[in-house]
């Protein structure tokens, strides 16, 4: 078993990865959290830097994640 974590706001990117692995071998888990909570929990200050324009291409600022429908419930 391999577990990885990715921030992937685009369905096309998730579908590309899904096409690489065997059918049924990928489980996508979508965790929704308000951006305010993410900022409160951000120990490295990345959200603050992104808001200040110091980090380019930061998800949720330049590329908001689209709502997802659950493919499969666990």
Active-site hit among 3, 8, 19, 73:
8
Active site residue 8: yes
CA distances 28 to 3, 7, 16, 63, Å, are: 11, 11, 13, 19
C-beta of residue 30 within 8 angstroms of C-beta of residue 68: yes
In angstroms, rounded to a whole number, what is the distance separating the alpha carbons of residues 6 and 14? 9
User: Tokens at residue 50, please?
Assistant: 């992104």
Name the residues annotated as catalytic: 8
């Amino acid at each position: 078993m391999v577990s990885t974590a990715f921030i992937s706001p685009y369905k096309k990117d998730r579908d590309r990865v899904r096409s690489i692995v065997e059918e049924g071998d990928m489980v996508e888990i979508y965790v929704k959290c308000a951006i305010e909570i993410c900022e409160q929990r951000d120990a490295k200050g990345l959200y603050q830097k992104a808001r200040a324009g110091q980090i380019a291409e930061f998800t949720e600022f330049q590329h908001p994640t689209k709502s997802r429908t659950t493919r499969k419930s666990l």
